[in-house]
């Protein structure tokens, strides 16, 4: 039996095969939101290397569930410069655009003397691994991460603080970069801070926005997340992101709410 070693296997020329480790909780034929985000963010780095720039913002719009199977990534420089750069990317499945992303990078500089104090992480990394959410069945992406809840939990609706770590590379044969490690887990924020029962409701996100004021240090990402459910079919998840050194940014997700 073949055991996947990554979320995606490269096929060459911007094409990838999705492995079962990218599978999400809502539909066995669809991915979790984090793998597409990590693949797009990693493709920006790999196809447009600029070590003199620091990634600061990533936005992804999801045009529907991203299918399992073969995918194609297309990227381009939308705005180039010495001090700032914008990158655009598309993720295609069967010729259809499944997701579209934009990333901003700014020039790397030493601003340590004027940097704001780094707030400590909201909690230490717990020793115990979290059980999967009830009502979802087995889904591959759960096995791709280490899940450690410092507050809340899948089976305890409400705000939550969770430490997350990729257990496998995003792309086979390539060590995960700091931005891939962030994007590879950050879409989990709405799931860990769920306000609704997984078995009864769908609360899928249609977008993801991440802001970072410094790169990730280490492998672990902490999401301190809260989900708000509106009264007209929409929701919002906001999260503060940290690593073991302290705060590094934040994220937001717009949610579609409906019965399962």
Q: What is the pLDDT of residues 90-132, one digit of tens each?
A: 999 999 999 999 999 999 999 999 999 999 999 999 998 888 7
Looking at residue 135, what is its pLDDT?
A: 64
Q: Pairing relation of β-strands 145-153 and 96-107? A: unpaired
pLDDT one-digit tens code per residue, 163-221: 999 999 999 999 999 999 999 999 999 999 999 988 899 999 999 999 999 999 999 99
The torsion angles phi and psi of 118, rounded to 5 degrees, stand at -85, 120
Looking at residue 244, what is its pLDDT?
A: 98
- pLDDT over 90 at 7, yes or no: yes
Q: Is 101 helix (H, G, I), strand (E, B) or coil?
A: strand
How many domains does the chain fold into? 1
In a domain, 184, yes or no: yes
* Domain that residue 27 falls in: 8-108+121-259
Chain mean pLDDT for the chain: 95
pTM over 0.75: yes
Looking at residue 133, what is its pLDDT?
A: 78
pLDDT band at 2 (very low <50, low <70, confident <90, very high): low
- pLDDT over 70 at 35, yes or no: yes
In a domain, 250, yes or no: yes
pLDDT band at 136 (very low <50, low <70, confident <90, very high): low
Instruction: Provide, rounded to the nearest whole percent, the portion of the chain with pLDDT above 90.
Output: 91
Q: Exposure of 143 by Cβ count < 10 A (0-12 exposed, 13-18 middle, 19+ buried)?
A: middle
pLDDT band at 86 (very low <50, low <70, confident <90, very high): very high
Residue 20 to residue 111: CA distance in whole angstroms: 42
Looking at residue 260, what is its pLDDT?
A: 86
CA distances in angstroms from 69 to 11, 16, 81, 160, 185, listed in the order given: 12, 8, 36, 32, 20
In a domain, 80, yes or no: yes
Q: Which two tokens stand for residue 63?
A: 């045009």
In a domain, 1, yes or no: no
Q: Are 93 and 69 in contact (CB under 8 A)?
A: yes
Residue 113 to residue 138: CA distance in whole angstroms: 49
- Considering only CA atoms, which of 259, 162, 133, 137 is closest in space to residue 202? 259
Q: Is 204 helix (H, G, I), strand (E, B) or coil?
A: strand
Q: Which two tokens stand for residue 67?
A: 């299918």
In a domain, 194, yes or no: yes
75: CATH: 2.40.160.210
**Residues in a beta bridge with 93:** 96
In a domain, 203, yes or no: yes
Looking at residue 132, what is its pLDDT?
A: 79
Q: Is 133 helix (H, G, I), strand (E, B) or coil?
A: coil
Q: Which two tokens stand for residue 35?
A: 């793998």
- pLDDT over 80 at 78, yes or no: yes
Task: Return the ∠ at Cα 213 (arms to 209 and 215), rounded to 5°.
Answer: 95
Residues 6 or more apart whose Cβ sits within 8 Å of residue 149: 126, 130, 160, 161, 162, 163, 192
The sign one gets for the Cα dihedral 180, 186, 135, 62 is negative
In a domain, 76, yes or no: yes
Q: Is 203 helix (H, G, I), strand (E, B) or coil?
A: strand
Q: Is 186 helix (H, G, I), strand (E, B) or coil?
A: helix
Residue 138 to residue 119: CA distance in whole angstroms: 36
pLDDT: which is higher, 199 or 44: 44
In a domain, 2, yes or no: no
């Amino acid at each position: 039996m073949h055991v996947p070693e990554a979320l995606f296997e490269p096929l060459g020329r911007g094409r990838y095969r999705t492995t079962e480790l990218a599978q999400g909780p809502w539909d066995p034929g669809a991915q979790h939101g984090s793998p597409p985000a990590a693949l797009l963010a990693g493709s920006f780095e790999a196809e447009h290397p600029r070590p003199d720039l620091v990634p600061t913002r990533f936005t992804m719009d999801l045009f529907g569930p991203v299918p399992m199977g073969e995918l194609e990534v297309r990227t381009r420089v939308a705005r180039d410069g010495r001090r700032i750069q914008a990158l655009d990317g598309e993720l295609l499945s069967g010729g259809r655009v499944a997701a579209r992303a934009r990333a901003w990078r700014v020039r790397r500089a030493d601003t340590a003397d004027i940097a704001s104090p780094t707030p400590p992480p909201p909690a230490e990394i717990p020793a115990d691994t979290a059980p999967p959410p009830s009502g979802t069945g087995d889904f591959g992406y759960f096995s791709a991460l280490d899940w450690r809840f410092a507050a809340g939990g899948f089976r305890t609706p409400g705000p939550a603080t969770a430490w997350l770590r990729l257990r496998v590379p995003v792309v086979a044969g390539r060590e995960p970069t700091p931005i891939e490690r962030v994007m590879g887990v950050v879409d989990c924020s709405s799931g860990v801070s769920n306000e609704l029962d997984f078995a009864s409701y769908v609360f899928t996100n249609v977008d993801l926005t991440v802001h970072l004021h410094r790169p990730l240090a280490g492998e672990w990402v902490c999401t301190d997340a809260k989900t708000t459910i509106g009264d007209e079919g929409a929701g919002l998840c906001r999260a503060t992101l940290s690593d073991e050194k302290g705060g590094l940014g934040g994220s937001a997700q717009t949610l579609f709410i409906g019965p399962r």
